[in-house]
Structure 1
Amino acid sequence: MSFPELTAADILSFQFSSWYPIFSSISIKSTVIRPLSQEFLDYLHSDGVHVPEGSDDLPAESTLSDDEEDAEKSDEDGEIRRFAFPELDVQIRAVISTYGAVFPKLNFSSPKDAAWILPVSSPLKCTSPADVYMLLKSSDFVTHDLSPESVFDGCSSGPCPYELELVLRKWYPVDRSRELRCFVRQNTLLGISQRDTNYYDFLNDEPTQARIVFTVRNFWETNIRARWDAPDYTFDILLTRDLSRGHILDFNPYAPRTDALLFSYESLHALSLTPDSKIEKPELRVIDSRAHPAATSNAPAHQHNMIPFEALSLSSGRDVQEFADAWEEGIKDSLKP
């Protein structure tokens, strides 16, 4: 089984600012901010998680004691670098004022793995520049977008000029059961996969599945097929509550770098070899039981990125109060000379 060769130019066709202007009328309202400063890139690369000065929409008055302020100044003169992005703060606040709230991403990747930073009731909902920075700074996913080397890894041609971009998308509650990933090979819609890894009873209803397949295929043929230049790609879609329409969430390459979710690329390849595949309806795959191998367990997604390893170690065999006491004691020990 072979995959289409990807050039650097091919990869850039999947970055947000490349496809969004074409499909903005059927996607979530979004604003792209670029160019971004080298200092902002340095901030994302820097060690530790800290909020840039002036970004948290709080009064600038200091609450530190004189001794603490002296220590803070000492830090500034030492190894800890302080960051501030007043112009970017203004741009972000303007977008938030327009949309009400936003969720951020970079050229290709969103910080879904850092959703735990903000309230669980409103995952990824940012109402200040500080929220945006904290999500990006806490995410492992977005590091892919920070250098041309990682972005163009595996391409058949050398890197193209690459410019980091910050995307702010209008936030609203999303029912993840209606998120789907669709696979297109040689201009044929082969497969449709549930994106979320939870079991949903309604997705296993046959009439519902038939409606999903009909809607997705009709949406693709009407809105995407003739407007996307390359024959091979994947697209993510969010269906409306009545499963009659859709909104484009993202595009990705048809390649191993894109998660095939409930498919494998071997199974998709087999579908592409089916006789008269161009007139066959795409195959829909969903989590069909709570025992499905891909079904989410009770553990939260991306839990490895939620708390320090030391905290995981200390929590073993302890109740909440015992853990809190042990954590506090560990901090005190680490501060001893």
Structure 2
Amino acid sequence: MECRLPSDIYLLLKSSDFVTHDLEHAYDDCVEDVSPDDDTPKQIADIPYHLVLRKFFQMNPSVEFRCFVRNRKLIALCQRDLNHFDFLFRMQDKLRHVIHNFFDDRLKHTFPDDNFVFDVYVPPPHDRVWLIDVNPWAVRTDPLLFSWLELLTLPEPPEEKVIRIPIRPANGTAESEEQSAAQSTDAREGEVSEGRTDMEDSDEEEADEEIWVPEFRLIRKDDPEAYSFNTPQYSAHKLPRDVVDASQGGPGALREFADNWKEMLAKQQQEDAEYESSEGD
């Protein structure tokens, strides 16, 4: 939502149940972290809150994605907008690659938590990733096209193998070089008969081994989620709670709310006019 005036911000804060939840239940599902220098845990009242504003720009919701990180490994990603976009399937591998590279470069070793969820935006030409938001690894974060059971049980990428290569000192003697060459020749002669078999086994293992990539889910054309003619997601949070309650009470309740709103607005305008008049005097 674009906010141009302070009143826009107040309306947004009043409209959002998420803001209220974040203020009152920000530390749900958390474990007390007692630092070595301080045996007394911090009280919620001692922790300051901040209102962070982001620069507004028009976003194309089709290229916004939610990414799930477990044990500092990107295990899954999916669309944020639950509608079918055919062009995404042609770009799926490219998007996965660029998002994965962004995670490895920017978040994998810098974010303080091992488990978290982050949202990214990949606008055309789809070669640069923008970080939009970071969410907790918790049930209250919407898993969208996954379930939390899936996210807890999805396989992780295998550990990277480390290959150690011995380096011969630069001041090695000629005698040691001759001995090394002789040993190398003997070893090659002894392994000629087994070399071909080992290479064949290695090739078969590489063919059987699949390259691991994170699970990337998109809305398919025949998916029921693609025909979302029902209420848009989180639509109730885009209006003040009073308006939502009045709309559920029928036409009479909504009309009464509108009349009360007009009276309140007129009263506020009158008070503002009187205040400006007194300031002028």
TM-score category (smaller protein): 0.5 to 0.7
> Residues 273-321 of structure 1, C-alpha deviation per residue, up to 9 Å, x if partnerless?
x573776111101111264347633433334354344434435xxxxxx
What is the SS of the residue equivalent to 2:4?
Answer: coil
Question: Counterpart of 2:117?
Answer: 234
1:254 — aligned with what?
137
Contact 2:73 2:108 survives alignment (8 Å): no
- The aligned counterpart of 2:219 is 287
Name 1:212's counterpart in structure 2: 95
Q: Which amino acid is the alignment partner of residue 51 of structure 2?
A: L
| Gap change, CA 1:126 and 1:198, over 3 Å in 2 | same
- Residues 295 and 260 from structure 1, CA distance in 2 versus in 1: closer, same or farther, beyond 3 angstroms? farther
Maintained 8 Å contact 1:236/1:250: yes
Q: Unaligned 5+ residue runs, structure 2?
A: 33-40, 161-210, 264-281
Q: How does 1:1-337 map to 2 (within 5 A)?
A: 124-147=1-24, 150-157=25-32, 159-160=43-44, 161-205=46-90, 208-272=91-155, 276=158, 280-289=212-221, 291-293=223-225, 296-305=228-237, 306=239, 307-315=243-251, 327=255
Distance 1:308 1:165 in 2: 27
Displacement of 1:185 in angstroms is 0.9
**What SS does the aligned partner of 1:268 have?**
helix
- Structure exhibiting the larger radius of gyration computed from Cα positions: 2
Cα deviation, 1:27-58, whole Å, max 9, x if unaligned, reads: xxxxxxxxxxxxxxxxxxxxxxxxxxxxxxxx
- The 3 A distance-change label for structure 1 pair 133 and 201 is same
Give the C-alpha shift of residue 145 in structure 1.
Answer: 2.6
Question: Over aligned residues, Cα RMSD in angstroms?
Answer: 3.0
Percent identity for Structure 1 against Structure 2: 35
**8 Å Cα contact 1:192-1:283 kept in structure 2:** yes
Q: Which amino acid in structure 2 is aligned with residue 225 of structure 1? A: K
SS across alignment from 2:92: helix
Cα distance in 2 for partners of 1:329, 1:127 equals: 26
User: In 2, are the aligned partners of 1:188 and 1:277 still within 8 Å (CA)?
Assistant: no
Instruction: Give the TM-score normalised by structure 2.
Output: 0.61
Q: Secondary structure at the match of 2:8?
A: helix
Structure 1, unaligned stretches of length 5 or more?
A: 1-123, 316-322
Partner SS, residue 167 of structure 1: coil
Within 2, Cα distance between the matches of 1:259 and 1:328?
35
SS of equivalent to 1:288: coil
- Whether the 8 Å CA contact 2:220–2:226 is kept in 1: the answer is no
Distance 1:283 1:331 in 2: 52
Structure 1 pair 266–300 and aligned structure 2 pair: CA distance change class (3 A): closer
Aligned partners of 2:65 and 2:78 also within 8 Å: yes
Cα deviation per residue 1:193-244 (whole Å; 9 max; x = unaligned)? Answer: 1111222121233xx1011111111111122212123321111111122211
Letter paired with 2:23: L
In structure 2, what residue type is equivalent to 1:268? L
Code of the residue aligned with 1:311 in structure 2: it is S
Q: Deviations over 1:57-87 (max 9, x none)?
A: xxxxxxxxxxxxxxxxxxxxxxxxxxxxxxx
Contact kept, 8 Å, 1:271 with 1:277, in 2: the verdict is: no
State the AA in 2 paired with 1:180.
Answer: F
Q: 1:168 Cα deviation (Å)?
A: 1.0
Tell me how far apart the structure 2 counterparts of residues 270 and 209 of structure 1 sit (CA, whole Å).
23
Instruction: Tell me if the contact between 1:145 and 1:164 (Cα under 8 Å) persists in the aligned partners.
Output: no
Aligned residues between the structures: 197
Deviation of 1:265 after TM superposition, in Å, equals: 2.0
SS of the residue 2:53 aligns to = strand
CA distance in 2, matches of 1:283, 1:257: 21
Structure 1 residue runs of 4 or more that deviate by more than 6 Å after TM superposition:
none
Counterpart contact for 1:287–1:295, Cα < 8 Å: no
Larger RCO: Structure 1 or Structure 2 (Cα < 8 Å, ≥ 6 residues apart)? 2
